[in-house]
Amino acid sequence: MYKHILFATDLSDESDFVISKVRAMRDFTHAKLSLIHVVEPMPGYSYAYLGIEDIEGQLIEESRTALAKLGNALNVDKKDQFVEVGPTKSKIQEIAESIGVDLIVCGSHGRHGLSLLLGSTANAILHGAKCDVLVVRLPE
């Protein structure tokens, strides 16, 4: 059975459905739970157009605050909460390997094309992970 679960969250309002699945999986397996949220880097030209010097820093801080709140709700230690900056797929896989998880849980809410079936981020995680991946389909 699973010993260490990594919940990859986008911190959206739709995440509550996935959170309930993560809780159930942890309760069933008694596995350790870690959380990750990845902030995609903004292109350099965005700063000039927006006139905001540190919008990325603000996104990171907001993400840390939101992830800490989720961590409290799920009783996840601060050291097991990760806010990363970079390409979502590779950052999730990198952290999953470095902390030795055997299951990654993520949600999928793709709306068109191949993404309708799985979601582009979930699809990328599924095909690149070196452990099991549980993709929770969000209700429409």
CA distance 77 to 36: 12
13-49 pLDDT, tens digit each: 888 999 999 999 999 999 999 999 999 887 665 555 5
Strand partners, 81: 35
**Token digits for 126?**
């599924």
Does any domain span residue 123?
yes
**Token digits for 100?**
């030795």
First to last CA, the chain: 31
- Which of 47, 70, 126 is closest to 80 using CA atoms? 70
CATH number, domain of 74, equals: 3.40.50.620
**Token digits for 133?**
């991946």
pLDDT given for residue 132 in this prediction = 96
The secondary structure of 61-116 as a DSSP string is HHHHHHHHHHHHHTT--GGGEEEEES-HHHHHHHHHHHHT-SEEEEEE---SHHHH
Pairing label, strands 32-39, 103-108: unpaired
pTM for the whole structure: 0.86
**Token digits for 47?**
């700063």
The residue segments making up the domain with residue 112 are 4-11+21-137
Does any domain span residue 43?
yes
pLDDT given for residue 12 in this prediction = 87
Does any domain span residue 77?
yes
The total number of structural domains in the chain stands at 1
pLDDT given for residue 34 in this prediction = 98
pLDDT given for residue 109 in this prediction = 67
pLDDT exceeds 70 at position 117: no
Q: Averaged over 117-138, what is the pLDDT?
A: 83
Does any domain span residue 107?
yes
53-104 pLDDT, tens digit each: 577 788 899 999 999 999 999 999 999 999 999 999 999 999 999 999 999 9
Does any domain span residue 16?
no
Q: Averaged over 121-126, what is the pLDDT?
A: 84
